Amino acid sequence: MAPRLAQALGAAAATAVVVLSPFAAPAATAQEPDAGRPLLIGHRGAAGTAPENTVAAFKDGRASGADFIEIDVQLSADGVPFLFHDDTAARTTNVEEVFPDRAQAPVTSFTWAELRQLDAGSYFGERFAGERIPHLDDAARIAAGSTGVYIEIKAPKNSPGIEQLVADKLAQDPAWRQLVDAGKVQVIGFDEASNREFARLAPDIPLQQLTGTVPDARMLASWAGFADSVGTNYRNLTAGNVADVKAAGLSLGVYTVNGPEAIQAVVDLGVDAVTGDFPIQAARQLDGRKVLPAASGVEIADALNNPAGSDVQPENGEYVLLRNSSGRSVDVGGYVIRDAAGNKLTIGEGYVLAPGGQLRVYAGPGTSTAGRYYNGGAASVLNNDGDSLALWTSRDRLADLFAN
């Protein structure tokens, strides 16, 4: 294991679980994490239970007992480091209302004052209305004292000089320096040239090279010259990949792992870190507790992501299959299925599932029946190569998690 990641693992083992957010899962009893378990990283804070890359998500990630929260940093047009994932603001903000002529403009083309005018919470749910795009320093403020931070340098070509700015922040800002000294900061990124530059500027900060798939031994050996770990998509991971990464002297993290079965699978493979949108629920699983103690009994049994023909063909196409595994009838009217990108499928009023009953929830158009509900959408929702889904009740309670 790379020495600097070993330090992070040691620091994480000394961190206790804190009280959970009131709108997520019931509070857990504080306890020492298992030093042998992988690091747990809350993706974009806790993107499954709060709007991604917002203070609300950072608080959920901290409250989960996760070892780290992950954030995405970019530079505004006037050089301010802000936290946002996408290249444009359209998916997760009200930019179309505030700046209608700039909805598809690069998010880095906005000044910090302009970015602060955007609502970055309402897309996720009404209770998050008014959440703003945070400053980089907000992550340190929320994390201080209990949680580490994975800083992803996002699209560095759109933010010239960002490596130097982040390196200076970590070296000079007292709040960030405190986290660095505690072994609670890592920098990550997909862009190898950017990572090499950051390693030159800040050689003492643990660094992770992100990749879609684990490369061959020659490339891993090259990465070992500047990085401490590799982060990869869990869906493509094999036991051989794990062995190759560790043979190169690197540690291994995986993203974005949301379903309980998927989490267990990567833990069994021996990864060193697991990044997911639902750190509250993942922490419960890793601690051997019930993942969803308030579940209604309705679960996501399956999903057809890539049907023959169009994904949204009339009366057919992609769908999510719900099943009532409880011993009582459950009214699923108003239930919502949300994917990792924030897309939603809803269920209309009047749908009651008897014990053992099933319901197909389609993205596209069709004639709804007792066993089928059509959302009437014109665009695909489910990723054809696999997706992570969450089922929410009409009372905004998390009912199930699923990944395929």
CATH code of 392's domain: 2.60.40.1260
Token representation of residue 182: 């505690």
Kindly state whether residues 307 and 343 are assigned to the same domain: yes
Domain boundary pick from 286, 312, 327? 286
Kindly state whether residues 279 and 305 are assigned to the same domain: no
Kindly state whether residues 119 and 263 are assigned to the same domain: yes
- Tokens 């899962």 correspond to what residue? 25
C-alpha distances out from residue 17 to 34, 40, 283, Å:
11, 12, 9
pLDDT of residue 294: 81
Phi and psi at residue 176, in whole multiples of 5°? -70, -40
10 Å Cβ neighbour count for 378?
8
pLDDT of residue 144: 82
Distance CA 15, CA 47 (A): 22
Catalytic residues: 43, 85
CA-wise closest residue to 154 among 86, 204, 93: 86
Q: How are beta strands 68-75 and 344-346 bridged, if at all?
A: unpaired
Task: Please list the helix, strand and coil fractions of the chain in percent, rounded to the nearest 5, in that order.
Answer: 30, 25, 50
Kindly state whether residues 398 and 252 are assigned to the same domain: no
Q: Is residue 30 part of a domain?
A: yes
Q: Is residue 49 part of a domain?
A: yes
Kindly state whether residues 17 and 47 are assigned to the same domain: yes
Kindly state whether residues 395 and 265 are assigned to the same domain: no
Q: Is residue 159 part of a domain?
A: yes
Per-10-residue mean pLDDT for the chain, 404 residues long? Answer: 49 39 34 68 98 98 96 98 98 98 97 98 96 98 92 98 98 97 97 98 98 98 98 97 98 96 96 97 92 92 96 96 97 96 95 97 97 96 95 95 96
Strand order in the sheet with 372-374: 298-304, 319-324, 358-362, 372-374
Task: Show the beta-strand stretches assigned E in 99-195.
Answer: 148-153, 185-189
**Quick one: 369 exposed, middle or buried, by C-beta within 10 A (0-12, 13-18, 19+)?**
exposed
Kindly state whether residues 242 and 350 are assigned to the same domain: no
Q: Cα Rg for the chain, rounded, in angstroms?
A: 21
Kindly state whether residues 241 and 326 are assigned to the same domain: no
**Geometric angle at alpha carbon 87, from 83 and 89, rounded to 5°:** 70
Q: Which residues, other chains included, contact 8 with Cβ-Cβ below 8 Å and sequence gap of 6+?
A: 39, 67, 68, 148, 183, 184, 186, 206
Domain boundary pick from 286, 307, 324? 286
pLDDT of residue 34: 56
- Domains contained in the chain, number: 2
10 Å Cβ neighbour count for 291?
20
**Quick one: 354 exposed, middle or buried, by C-beta within 10 A (0-12, 13-18, 19+)?**
exposed
Q: Is residue 292 part of a domain?
A: no
Q: Is residue 293 part of a domain?
A: no
> Which domain does 398 fall in, by range?
298-403
The alpha carbon dihedral of 59, 62, 64, 70 has a sign of positive
Q: Is residue 381 part of a domain?
A: yes
Distance CA 356, CA 174 (A): 56
Q: What is the CATH number for 177?
A: 3.20.20.190
Q: Is residue 291 part of a domain?
A: no
Kindly state whether residues 277 and 305 are assigned to the same domain: no
Q: Is residue 225 part of a domain?
A: yes
Domain boundary pick from 286, 310, 330? 286
Kindly state whether residues 100 and 228 are assigned to the same domain: yes
Kindly state whether residues 262 and 306 are assigned to the same domain: no
Its pTM stands at 0.90
Kindly state whether residues 190 and 323 are assigned to the same domain: no
C-alpha distances out from residue 259 to 16, 86, 347, 390, Å:
24, 24, 22, 9
